[in-house]
Amino acid sequence: MRIQYKNTIAEWVLIAVNGLAVLAVAASFVMLYGFDRPVLSVTFLYITQFVALNIFLVEKVIRFCNAESKRDFLKYNWFEIPLLGLLFIAVFGAGRWFVADSPGIAILIAIDAYLVLQVISKLCRTMVAVAATGANPARALAGVFLVLIWIGSGLLMLPRSHGLERMQLTDAVFTATSAACVTGLIVHDTGRDFTPMGQVVILTLIQLGGLGIVIFGAVMALLLGQALSVRESAAMQDLINAQTLSRIGKMIAFIFLTTLLIEAVGALCLYPMWDDVPSRYITSDAKWFCSIFHSVSAFCNAGFSLFERSMIDYSGSAGVYAVIAPLIILGGLGFSVLYNLISVFRSRLIRWLRRHSSPNPLFFTQPPERLQLQTKIVLSVSALLIIAGTLALMLFEHSSTSPHADGRFRIALFQSITARTAGFNTIDIASLSEASRFILILLMFIGGSPGSTAGGIKTVTFAVVIMIAWASFRKRRDVEMFRRSVRLLVVGRAVTVLLLFCVVLLASTLGLVLTERGSGFAFLDILFEAASALGTVGLSTGLTPLLTTGGKWIIIVTMLIGRLGPLTLLMGLTRQIRPVGFDYPSEPVIVG
């Protein structure tokens, strides 16, 4: 929904003033809570927040008077009424109706909460609007990710975010990029070197990066009752790979609710696991935070852990295999696949109930939901990769002297699952044989599925490329899977993605070879590091903290390319190029 205003100049002035007020609020919060001691006077910072509060209130009044339709304005901003009501109760009720001892603190908390909600609301609207500007959502998405990384880097450099003597800019950008791109490569230990505030910043970056910050903005807009315009819906369709505009709202709501539900169930199931290592967590609050952190990290395929040795100390715990592994798989399937699976299950359940309640076939006029080709490919390829990876790791590690040899199958199964962009490990990766590490590189290169939190070339791309060769071998004109033909446009896209990923992997590996030429790192370890960054996996043989500054920036760029996708970046650069309206005559060439 777009509100029409009578005076457009006044509206642009309000937008500029709002932007300055948002920056002032953010700066005041950083100065109050980001340092051991406030940088400026506490009184001055509170006055700044009070002025911003009045700006937000006056802005509502001016926009209401300037709106052509007062009804549409109230409908679009309906959530402001209960917020203002709660703020009024908190300000005038403190000391009278509640909190008689310290009414000033209660008022400050209420004002801070209102300002935070206002800033979040305005940022969410801005995200969706930016994604909908022009005809190039891919470029807008890249810009939003860069802004998210920039903000995250600044927050991580605050003294209250880390326990180091000083946080270097490169390390802050590296950590923020790794979290926002749900990679998991670290240069500082998350649990030891970052304070609870820094860990919350990293967790927020993981959630926003995994869910998609633009999608998060659209979710908040929909939760606030604000319908998306046609241009905004078209932008969302490109970003979440939805098939029709009519399903955008349902798909966005499904992504948000499914993410919260799965992560909540995962955190609940992980809570008892931390007792397997005595004295690690004593308080209940610490165990809950650890559960939430690892549940979000696992579902978003981020691989960040609060433990220095990842999940090695919990390699014998059932929760690693019964909770974290399923979270990784669900996060890597893709939301469109989960949506289709739930739709099919619901359709079959309804038909089963109707069949048993009324055997009359006239009640079954509506055709049942079926598994889409995308779902079939994702499920079959994912299962094949997990099984093949497990067997290969068991084969190449059959003579391993690891102390976990009694659980070789579980370790191989978990590493086969987590190598496809999750990044957790239950065994030291550096201790694996070169053959096993090469298998992990292949799994990291393939990655998860389209529309998921995972990276890599994606399972569908891998399947299409394989079936191209199979169709050529069978002398078939079309690429066929599950008795369906794949369009030529999809075939060309798959080959392009594969080619671009290979180019980026080779370029980043070459760059690391040049920057780390004096370090004595083995070439396979460097290739492993580059593949982990490009596939947004997070597995490492221990090279990441030892990289030079140039090597870290190569990994930063590689992680960002891996999260956005080389094809997305290419589309962002070449979308304005118009296709030609003619074809050249064909001539045979010899291949192979």
Give pLDDT, residue 212. 63
| Beta carbons within 10 angstroms of residue 409's beta carbon | 12
Burial 288-314 (b: 16+ CB within 10 A, else e): bbbbbbbbbbbbbbbbbbbbeebbbeb
Average pLDDT in the chain: 81
Give pLDDT, residue 35. 83
What confidence category does residue 388 fall into, taking pLDDT thresholds of 50, 70 and 90? Answer: very high
User: Pairing relation of β-strands 484-486 and 479-481?
Assistant: antiparallel
Residues 576, 580, 582: CA angle, nearest 5 degrees: 170
Task: Give the 3-state secondary structure of residue 246.
Answer: helix
Give pLDDT, residue 269. 93
Residues listed for the chain? 592
pLDDT score of 399 more than 70:
no
- 166: which DSSP letter? -
Contacts of the segment 347-356: beta carbons below 8 A, 24+ positions apart: none
Condensed to tens digits (0 to 9), the pLDDT of residues 225-255 reads 444 554 545 545 555 555 544 556 677 778 7
CA 166 to chain centre: 28
pLDDT score of 421 more than 90:
no
Cβ atoms 138, 572 nearer than 8 A:
yes
What confidence category does residue 99 fall into, taking pLDDT thresholds of 50, 70 and 90? Answer: low
Condensed to tens digits (0 to 9), the pLDDT of residues 1-40 reads 567 788 888 888 888 888 888 888 888 888 888 887 777 8
What confidence category does residue 549 fall into, taking pLDDT thresholds of 50, 70 and 90? Answer: very high
Condensed to tens digits (0 to 9), the pLDDT of residues 477-535 reads 888 888 888 888 888 888 888 998 999 999 999 999 999 988 889 999 999 999 999 99
Condensed to tens digits (0 to 9), the pLDDT of residues 126-184 reads 766 665 555 555 666 677 788 889 989 999 999 889 888 888 999 999 999 999 988 98
Cα–Cα distance measured from residue 88 to residue 78, given in angstroms and rounded to the nearest whole number: 16
Provide the Cα torsion 24, 28, 29, 34; round to 10°. 130
Give pLDDT, residue 403. 46
What confidence category does residue 297 fall into, taking pLDDT thresholds of 50, 70 and 90? Answer: very high
